[in-house]
Amino acid sequence: MSLPQNGFVNGGWSTPLHGDPVTVLDPATEEPLGSVAGLGAGDVEAVCTGAAEGFEVWRDVSAWERSAVLRRIADILRRDQQVFAAVMTAEQGKPLAQSAGETAASADQFDWYADEARRVYGRIVPGHLATDRIHVYAEPIGPVLAFAPWNFPLLLPARKVAGALAAGCSVILAAPPEAPYCSLLLAGAAAEAGLPPGVLTVVTGDWRTLAGTLVDHPAVRKVTVTSSVPVGIELAVRAAGQVKPITLELGGHSPVIVTPGRGVAEAARACALGKFRNGGQVCIAASRFFVARAALEEFLDVFVATTSSLRLGPGDQEGVDVGPLASAARRSATESLVADAVAQGAQVVAGGRRPAEFDRGYYFEPTVLTGLSPQMAVMTREPFGPIAPIAPYDDLEHAVAQANSTEYGLAGFVFTDDLEAGLRIARRLEVGMVGINNLTVATAEAPFGGVKHSGHGREGGSEGIGEFLVTKYVSARMPDPAGWAG
* CA–CA dist 272, 275 (Å, integer): 5
End-to-end CA distance of the chain: 74
* CA–CA dist 235, 47 (Å, integer): 19
- What contacts 384, CB < 8 A, 6 or more positions away? 151, 251, 280, 281, 283, 285, 330, 333
Q: How far is CA 301 from CA 290, 349, 385, in A?
A: 15, 10, 21
Domains of the chain: 19-251+449-473 (3.40.605.10), 254-407+411-436 (3.40.309.10)
Identity of the residue numbered 93: G
Chunked mean pLDDT (size 10), the chain, 486 residues: 89 88 97 95 96 98 98 98 98 98 98 98 92 95 98 98 98 97 98 98 91 97 97 97 97 97 96 97 97 98 98 97 97 98 98 96 98 96 97 97 98 97 97 97 97 97 97 91 57
Q: Report the DSSP pairing between strands 455-456 and 246-249.
A: antiparallel
* C-alpha closest to that of 338 among 375, 281, 376: 376
Region class of 211: left (phi > 0), else alpha (psi between -120 and 50), else beta: alpha
* CA–CA dist 325, 394 (Å, integer): 35
Q: What is the DSSP letter of 448?
A: B
Q: How far is CA 268 from CA 59, 279, 439, in A?
A: 49, 17, 12
Quickly count: other Cβ atoms within 10 Å of residue 135's Cβ: 13
Residue 248 pairs with which residues in a beta bridge? 225, 456
pLDDT of residue 353: 97
- What contacts 255, CB < 8 A, 6 or more positions away? 286, 287, 288, 289, 290, 402, 403, 404, 412, 413, 429
Positions marked catalytic: 249, 283
pLDDT of residue 484: 55
What is the value of pTM for the model shown? 0.96
DSSP assignments along 280-345, one per residue? G--TT-EEEEEEEHHHHHHHHHHHHHHHHHPPBS-TTSTT-SB---SSHHHHHHHHHHHHHHHHTT
Q: Are 161 and 186 in contact (CB under 8 A)?
A: yes
pLDDT of residue 486: 47
Collapsed DSSP state (helix, strand, coil) of residue 178 = coil
* CA–CA dist 197, 194 (Å, integer): 9
Angle at 354 between CA 376 and CA 333, to 5 degrees: 40
pLDDT of residue 208: 84
Cα 465 to chain centroid distance, Å, stands at 16
* CA–CA dist 243, 222 (Å, integer): 10
What is the signed CA dihedral for 207, 212, 214, 219, rounded to 10 degrees? 170
* C-alpha closest to that of 366 among 293, 296, 286: 286
pLDDT of residue 481: 64
* C-alpha closest to that of 140 among 61, 235, 69: 61
For residue 323, which phi and psi values (nearest 5 degrees)? -90, -170
Residue 38 pairs with which residues in a beta bridge? 19
- What contacts 190, CB < 8 A, 6 or more positions away? 69, 73, 161, 165, 199, 200
pLDDT of residue 200: 98
Q: How far is CA 394 from CA 256, 304, 360, in A?
A: 15, 22, 44
